[in-house]
Amino acid sequence: MKKEGSNQVRSGTLIIVKSFCFITAILIVTGCGEDGLIDSGEPFQITILSQEGIPVEGATVEGGIDWDFYKVQTDEHGIAVIPGSVRGERATIYKTNFLPRIVSSINPNRYTLTRNI
């Protein structure tokens, strides 16, 4: 014959173990709030140059997904301001008469477009 009290203790222990596992999983996924893992969302600049080192004005930089989609053009200095929320994500850079370039991890940097001959 089973005792009713021992079943309640097992049930309570099971709830505690499940709660602990759930909280641990949440902390692992969120990174425990480490500054290095959380993007500040600050916009950043990239520079697009031709293979000759000349700034490419009017080049399009686009990327993102759904609500985080962006599409910007470079200014006369070849500079484009990219939303900080897409740092490290994939982007495409293109302009007429240049070969398009796919960047697997967009970060503040200089990128070169090659002229289409």
Do β-strands 110-113 and 44-50 pair in parallel, antiparallel, or remain unpaired?
Answer: parallel
- Name the more confident of 36 and 100: 100
Range of the domain at 90: 44-113
Domain count, the chain: 2
Give yes or no for residue 11 having a pLDDT over 90: no
Could you tell me if 48 and 105 lie in one domain? yes
pLDDT band per the 50, 70, 90 thresholds, residue 102: very high
Could you tell me if 29 and 57 lie in one domain? no
pLDDT in tens, 63-83: 988 888 999 999 999 999 999
Cut 0.85: pTM above it: no
Give yes or no for residue 22 having a pLDDT over 90: no
* CATH number of the domain residue 74 falls in: 2.60.40.1120
Could you tell me if 30 and 54 lie in one domain? no
3-state helix, strand, coil in the chain (%, to 5): 35, 30, 40
Could you tell me if 55 and 99 lie in one domain? yes
pLDDT band per the 50, 70, 90 thresholds, residue 17: confident
Q: Calculate the dihedral angle through the C-alpha atoms of 79, 81, 82, 88, rounding to the nearest 10 degrees.
A: 50
- Name the more confident of 2 and 18: 18
Contact yes or no for 56/24 (Cβ under 8 A) = no
